[in-house]
């Protein structure tokens, strides 16, 4: 049975002119279904039918076509997330994330007006062209913060 994430994955792949392969559909559908960015290892565990090299290639393809993006935490591990709001703007899918220093979770903070106003105030020198931007707030998530205060 086809779920909404598989349908959306197929639609997005078609929109950017990519061939609909099973690995591309599965990887993008998995990223679309997750509430937080996933590491390559987490994706491997979820997608046992896709080998490691194919997964790397699919992720790079999705990033190249602005269907996904990657971010790195203090642990220097790449995490991947679907671009739910692809834009025609030259700086694609810019929104902040929160990274917990204890449990290492990344939480998407979504697209909010205050952040976009801040982004609009950042001016690049003439002749420069921004392609991407990462904003990560580091600290303690609610669960880890609660554990720290109760100890």
Which DSSP symbol is given to 36?
S
**Section 37-48 average pLDDT:** 93
Radius of gyration of the chain (CA): 17
pLDDT score of 87 more than 50: no
pLDDT score of 114 more than 90: no
**Section 12-16 average pLDDT:** 95
pLDDT score of 126 more than 60: yes
Burial environment of residue 135 by CB neighbours within 10 A (0 to 12, 13 to 18, 19 or more): middle
Structure token digits, residue 121: 């105030």
Q: How many CB atoms lie within 10 A of CB 33?
A: 15
Q: What is the pLDDT of residue 116?
A: 53
Which DSSP symbol is given to 45?
H
**Section 38-60 average pLDDT:** 95
pTM of the complete model: 0.68
In CATH terms, 4-150 corresponds, of 1.10.10.10, 1.10.240.10, 3.65.10.10, 2.40.160.20, to 1.10.10.10
Structure token digits, residue 94: 């810019």
pLDDT score of 9 more than 70: yes
């Amino acid at each position: 049975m086809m779920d909404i994430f598989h349908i959306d994955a197929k639609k997005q792949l078609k929109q950017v002119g990519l061939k609909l392969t099973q690995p591309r559909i599965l990887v993008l559908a998995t990223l679309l279904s997750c509430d937080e960015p996933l590491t390559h290892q987490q994706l491997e565990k979820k997608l046992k039918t896709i080998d490691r090299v194919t997964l790397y290639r699919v992720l790079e393809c999705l990033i190249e076509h602005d269907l996904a993006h990657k971010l790195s935490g203090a642990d220097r591990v790449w995490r991947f997330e679907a671009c739910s709001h692809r834009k025609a703007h030259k700086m694609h899918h810019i929104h902040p994330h929160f990274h917990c220093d204890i449990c290492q979770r990344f939480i998407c903070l979504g697209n909010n007006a205050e952040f976009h106003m801040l982004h609009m105030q950042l001016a690049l020198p003439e002749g420069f062209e921004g392609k991407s931007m990462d904003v990560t707030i580091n600290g303690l998530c609610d669960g880890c913060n609660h554990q720290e205060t109760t100890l």
